[in-house]
Amino acid sequence: MVRAARRRWWQNPEMVTLAVAAVLLVAGLVVEWTIHSEPVALALFWGAILIGGVYPLRSAIRAVRHKRLTITVLLVVAAIGAIALGVIEEAAALVVIFSLVEAMEAYATDKARGSISALMELTPPTANRLNDDGATKTVAVEELHPGDVVMVRPGERLPTDGIVVDGASWVDASPVTGESVPVEATAGTEVFGGSLNGNGVLRVKVTKEYYDTVLARVIGQVEEAQANRSGAERFADKFSAIYTPAMFALAIVVALVMPLLGFEWREAIYRALVILVVSCSCALVISVPVSVVTAIARGARDGILIKGGIYLERLADIKAVAFDKTGTLTRGRPTLAQVTPLDGISEDEALTLAAAVETGSEHPIATAIVAGARDRGLTIPAVQDARALPGAGMEATLDGRTLHIGRPTDEDRTDGTAGPALAHAEAEGCTAVVLRDDTRPLAVVAVADQLRPDAESTLTELRDLGVERVLMLTGDNATVARSTAQALGLDDYRAELLPEDKSAAIRELREKHGVIAMVGDGVNDAPALANADLAIAMGAASTDVALETADVALMADELDRLPAAIRLSRRARNNIKINIVLSLTVVAVLIVAALAGWMSLTTGLLLNEGSAALIILNGLRMLRPGRGETRRARTSVSV
């Protein structure tokens, strides 16, 4: 991705031209009102028309060549008509004021897009790459390749995505993920380009090309989002395509009919020109895009990537939400849940023995047991002859005694002490293993995939927002699924589903409940995501495929961003409705006033473009967070 240089207004020829035209118009008015020199004033007005009209005239000519009637064409016709009638002052005002509002619209769009594109500026242009001899060399970030190691000093921003190979610090990744709390970064931690390094030196191994970093892909996706137009945007386009020619026809009718009714032809043409000016539908044309662009920008700031206006619109209409379980409603990794000692040994002793046997295993259950023992401060003794038994667990020798830990056997389930403990653990949705020696079971150790801490509050918020059905679709076993569903108070759940079963369930639910969203990890839930009305991926910063397959990605991997996204979409919809109603009301009133001859060209233009300015400002309000759109205030980081 190429870095775009940001230009100041004085580096933009069109803005400079407009500024000169505006100065000439103001100077002409001052001369006319103070020293009353009509020739000088006319010269200044002509200068404003000739200089300020260059770009509108070019745009109008292009539109006519493509057989399109645009607002700019109406403006140019009105200005030419005003000149023909000899009202040069009003012609100059038409050109300059219209161009000013066009520039304001461009500024609004650029500001919204700039709030996203500015993210790329967070990535430093150069990086300190480590050579084989340990020396550093400053290179452009575009020259970094996977496998390179870069050094990031305290207070610097990470130049690209990678994995920490040495050092310890905290990293503020809020520009990428929207996560407001800095995270600890040590060896093995994945980090992202654009993140701010804290108070330690980090050595980071590059894992992606510069153009493929998470930050670069986020910006690319948001820029492409404009191609996915919402129904409201398409309505505005279609309305404008009919409305603009209709207003042009109305002006022609007025110019031709009024003289037949006894009006002077000059008055008839003037009123027709006023109709052209006040009917310019720029307010309506921009009423939808300015709100959509700013809402998408607002979401991207807060770690909610919405990939187009059509998906922004669907968020507001969600009637049901189906969640995957593992990694979505739960953390996706097991943790120690229960230790039930048997045959007289203590709980700590049982956990110590279990952890000792499992130390050599990389299985997630083994990792959870070892981590649980360490969290309790237990000393894990060394074992001898540790070996994995495929499909049956781990075995090792400790102090001359052979210990085994693994999946329950039929004998364990019928045992008078181990059986009830196993039944209790599994009834609570845990996965249980049995620790035993050569003669008897010693303990039942259970692990569970813990619920996300924000899962319950998120579901409550969704119901408060009017979501009618919240359910879970999972491939996990029925016992675990039932336990999770009961703990969260879900409306329904379906367990032991294959990917194609999830897709079928989504289709069925859509017929029953209307617009349905599927929330998953964007990989193994891909078929269900594809069949949902809205595909929402968790943790886009950690799964490459999520950005490609989802309609909405919760970048910070936090569920509570989902209600925030819905609030944002509904706020955008309300913003669009206000804009459309305001623009249509103003145009209707102004056309009636123009037909009645109650206003001049300049007055009509000021009122019409004033409404456009209000609409732009109302749209830009979307860049400010609304109630509930950010769960907590961003943590400011000073270095």
- pLDDT surpassing 80 at residue 557: no
Query: Taking the chain, what is the end-to-end CA distance rounded to the nearest angstrom?
Result: 29
Mean pLDDT is lowest, of 36-50, 56-70, 153-167, 621-635, for: 621-635
3-state secondary structure of 515: coil
Residue 452: burial class (beta carbons within 10 Å; 0-12, 13-18, 19+): buried
Query: What is the distance between the alpha carbons of residues 443 and 428, in angstroms, rounded to a whole number?
Result: 17
Mean pLDDT is lowest, of 10-14, 59-63, 109-113, 472-476, for: 109-113
Pairing of strands 393-398, 202-206: unpaired
Q: Put the strands of the sheet holding 196-197 in their side by side order.
A: 183-185, 169-172, 196-197
Mean pLDDT calculated for residue range 43-61: 89
Query: What is the distance between the alpha carbons of residues 215 and 212, in angstroms, rounded to a whole number?
Result: 8
- pLDDT surpassing 70 at residue 80: yes
Tokens of 71: 């607002």
Query: What is the distance between the alpha carbons of residues 147 and 164, in angstroms, rounded to a whole number?
Result: 12
* Residues 358, 364, 369, 375, Cα dihedral to 10°: 120
Mean pLDDT calculated for residue range 50-56: 87
What's the pLDDT score for residue 108?
55
Mean pLDDT score across all residues of the chain? 82
3-state secondary structure of 360: coil
Instruction: Name, in order, each residue with C-beta under 8 angstroms of 343's C-beta and a sequence gap of 6 or more.
Output: 417, 440, 441, 442
Partners of 202 in the beta sheet?
152
Which is higher by pLDDT, 297 or 313? Answer: 313
Per-residue burial over 234-269, b = 16 or more CB atoms within 10 Å of its CB, e = otherwise: eebeebbeebbeebbebbeebbeebeeeebeeeebb
Backbone conformation region of residue 251, classed left if phi is above 0, alpha if psi is from -120 to 50, else beta = alpha
> Which helix (DSSP H) or strand (DSSP E) does residue 431 occupy?
strand 431-436
Which is higher by pLDDT, 349 or 393? Answer: 349
The Cα-based distances of 32 to 22, 45, 96 in angstroms read 15, 10, 17
Asked if 460 and 321 touch (Cβ cutoff 8 Å), the reply is: no
Residues designated as active site: 324
Total count of residues recorded for the chain: 639
Asked if 471 and 490 touch (Cβ cutoff 8 Å), the reply is: yes
pLDDT in tens, 429-471: 788 899 999 888 999 999 988 888 899 999 999 999 999 999 9
Helices and strands counted in the chain (H then E): 23, 22
Tokens 């845990």 belong to which residue?
430
What's the pLDDT score for residue 473?
92
pLDDT in tens, 338-364: 999 997 889 999 999 999 999 988 777
pLDDT above 70: percentage of residues in the chain: 84
- pLDDT surpassing 70 at residue 545: no
What's the pLDDT score for residue 75?
78
Instruction: Name, in order, each residue with C-beta under 8 angstroms of 302's C-beta and a sequence gap of 6 or more.
Output: 178, 561, 564, 625, 629, 630
pLDDT band (50, 70, 90) for residue 34:
confident
- pLDDT surpassing 60 at residue 227: no
**How large is the C-alpha radius of gyration of the chain?**
33
Q: Name the residue among 621, 627, 332 with its Cα closest to residue 461.
A: 627
pLDDT in tens, 586-617: 888 888 998 888 888 878 877 877 787 788 78
Asked if 341 and 589 touch (Cβ cutoff 8 Å), the reply is: no
pLDDT band (50, 70, 90) for residue 365:
confident
Asked if 520 and 532 touch (Cβ cutoff 8 Å), the reply is: no
- pLDDT surpassing 70 at residue 386: yes
Per-residue burial over 175-188, b = 16 or more CB atoms within 10 Å of its CB, e = otherwise: bbbbbbebeebeee
Asked if 606 and 97 touch (Cβ cutoff 8 Å), the reply is: yes
Among 241-250, 482-491, 618-627, the range with the most confident prediction by mean pLDDT is 482-491
Mean pLDDT is lowest, of 15-29, 36-50, 552-566, 625-639, for: 625-639
Query: What is the distance between the alpha carbons of residues 260 and 76, in angstroms, rounded to a whole number?
Result: 27
pTM for the full predicted model: 0.68
- pLDDT surpassing 50 at residue 244: yes
Q: Name the residue among 467, 431, 225, 214 with its Cα closest to residue 323.
A: 467
Tokens 């996203």 belong to which residue?
116
Asked if 418 and 391 touch (Cβ cutoff 8 Å), the reply is: no
pLDDT band (50, 70, 90) for residue 391:
low
What's the pLDDT score for residue 636?
32
Mean pLDDT is lowest, of 305-314, 328-337, 563-572, 620-629, for: 620-629
What's the pLDDT score for residue 109?
55
